[in-house]
Structure formats: C-alpha cells, structure tokens
Amino acid sequence: MASLSSLPGNRFNAGLGSPVAAASAFSAALSSAPLGAAPVASAPLAASVTDALGRVPIVRLNRLHPSCNQHDLYLKLESCNPGGSIKEKNAAYLVHQAEQSGQLRPGGTIVESSSGNFGIGLAIVGATRGYRVLIVIDAKTSPTIRRMLQAYGAELVEVPLEAADAHGSMQVARMQRAQELERTLPGAWYPAQHTNPQNVEAHSLWTAQEIAAAFPTGPDAIVVGVSTAGQLTGISRYFKQHSPKTRIIGVDVAGSAILGTPRHAYKMTGLGLSFIPPNYDPQVLDAAYSVSDALAFSVCHALAQREGMLLGASTGAIVAAALADVQRFTQPQTYLLLNPDRGDRYLETVYDADWLKQHHLTILQDQDLVQAINHLQPVPLDLVRRAAQ
C-alpha cells in the first residue's frame, strides 16, 4: 500500500512537513500580528494543485450556540481545499493508486457516479493529469455543480428521472450507468467511491493524521458525515488505534437508509444513500445522529450569519449533531467537526429563499434554532447496527 509520501511531487518528499504543521505555523504568525496587518509569513509552495490538498484551517465555533461558551468545537475546513471539498483528497489518492496498479493509463478515461464533490475532485485531478473525465449525474444535480464540472473539462452523462427508485433516489441507477460506461469505453476506469476500500485508506493515511497533528492528545470526539463511509471508516480506524478515548460520532440526513431510521425523500446532497455502503462499519460509532433537511439548512444559515462561514449543506447536519451531543457532558469537551465542502455550490438551493419556499423548508433562527438543536436525540446504536446487518 502506497503512503502519501509516495505520491509524485508530494510535499512530504519536498521536505515541507505535514499540512497541519505548516498551516499551524502560518496561523501562529498571523495571530501574532494586529488585525488587518500584512501577513508575516508565506504559505508553503506546492508543486501542483493536488500537492496543496489538506492545508486547511481548523476554526473554533464561538457564537452559534450557548454550548460554544463551555466547550471547544472546531471545524476542520476541508472547504478550503483548492476545489472546495474534502473529496479531492480521495480523488487524488484513488487516481494515484489506479496509475500505480495499471488500471488507469495515459490517455485513459475516468468514469464516476457523483452528485457533486467527488466528481469535481476527479475533474480537477483529471485536468492536472491529462485524463478524459465522464461524470454520471441525475436530475438532483444542481446547475452550479453542472457548471463547475464542465468548467474543469468534465463531460456529463445524465440518468433520467424515471430511473429513480421508490424513494426518489437515483444513486443505484447512476452507478449502473457508470459500470456500463467502464465496460464499453476503451481505457476507462471507474473508481466506484461507494465500494472502493481505498476510499478508506485516503482518510486513514491523510485526514486522520492531520487531525492527530492538530490535537496531539486526541480530541474528545470527532463528528463526521457517514456518506460513502470513506471518511468515517478511515478516520475511526486511525483513532481507535492511536486515541481510543476519542469518540466517533456519525451523522446522516433523515430519510437515508444507513442508520435504520424511516426512509423518505430528502433534499440534502453530500449525505444520504439508498443502500448501506460496503465501507461502512457501524461498530466504530459511539453515537449516531439523523438530522432533517430543515435543521441542517438552518444551521448552515446560522454559520454564515453568526460565524462568518458559508459552508455546504452536510456541514449544517454535522454541526447540529455535534452541538446536540456535547450537551451530554458537564465537563468542557473538545470536538473536531469535519466540514466537507463550501457553500458557494448551494447558493441556488440551501441559500436561496425561493428554492426553500418551493420545497416547504423553513429556516429556524435564534432561540427556535437553539431549541431544535437541543431536542435532537441520537439514534439508538442497536437500531444503527441492526440496519447494517
């Protein structure tokens, strides 16, 4: 298994140190200067855009909820990766592994089913490596995501609405289309993020060690979206071995199949599946939360207006779950929350008043939002584990 240091032109080979250490040194230099002063240090140089991955800030929440006064809740802003999401990491890692194994050769084609971020990550890596990139999308894919994919040179293959399952999901239909394209296109390679075990390796080798570098004794808890389970399983694998005290909290959107809660349609992208992903192991979870669209999107608005961070839809769910969970403790806790992506790709949905009204979603504010977070309860772990059997 190749480590990150073996990636071509990787910053670890260049002697630039870990991304968290570099970011911490830069942050320390900035924090010692008066507000508004010119930076006193420069960011480390990167040989390519993929070498800049992972160099993201970790920012404390201060004004979102009364619990922020007692507990330290930090957001790891993976939205600050070059393309705006954490999925660029596993895109870069999986492409590298495919090149090393011979599955992907010069002049080849990358094919993937994606609702957005992973497709964008592959399009970025494909642009830097000279590959053709085909992304299978569906009607739920927003105009912004479509334009971003095309801007990076990706070609779009759309699955028709009638391919949706009984709950309105088109994930299985998209994956089947991607498999068909891999079979029929010469030189095509399908990473299959939903089933590929190397998706997990990317985050145990990369993201988990960035967190460990920032929290040498380990945070009390890490809160992460379940999604395809690459981040969840990779991070938990590392921390269960190196910091057993660190609790792992998984978050999904209400309506998804993963946690065993009732199935129904949802508007969230970035969380939620119509099936149990093969990389998912419920045994790693110390707590699990199912968060509604309305609560997640409300937290997104509050993050922008009270913390100055315009972040993606799934981050709202992750932050809501963390704030609900931390109230179980009377002693001060330190939580690390994983922010998967930026909010700019949701301006036509989550942050659009007309879209919210069209879908009968009300944004909670002030005390109504605090109360909704306080009333959020974890999903019983026995239910979570039965659902995965």
Token pair in block for residue 182: 């891999």
Contacts of 166 (CB under 8 A, 6+ apart): none
- Write out the two tokens for 207: 């993201």
% helix, strand, coil for the chain, step of 5 = 45, 15, 45
Q: How far apart are CA 274 and CA 298, in angstroms?
A: 24
Are the C-beta atoms of 78 and 86 separated by less than 8 Å?
yes
Distance, in Å, from the CA atom of 41 to the CA atom of 310, rounded to the nearest integer, reads 26
d(CA 105, CA 371): 54
Report how far residue 11's alpha carbon sits from residue 183's, in angstroms, rounded to the nearest whole number.
36
* Cα–Cα distance, 280 to 230 (Å, whole number): 8
Determine the 3-state secondary structure of 346 from DSSP: helix
Which position among 79, 85, 87, 243 bears the catalytic label? Answer: 87
Tell me if residue 135 falls in helix, strand or coil: strand
Residue 6: CB atoms within 10 A of its CB come to 12
CB-based contacts of 18, cutoff 8 Å, min separation 6: 12, 209, 210, 213
Could you confirm whether 87 is annotated as catalytic?
Answer: yes
What's the order of all strands across the beta sheet hosting 188-189? 155-158, 132-137, 109-113, 188-189
Residues forming the active site? 87, 314
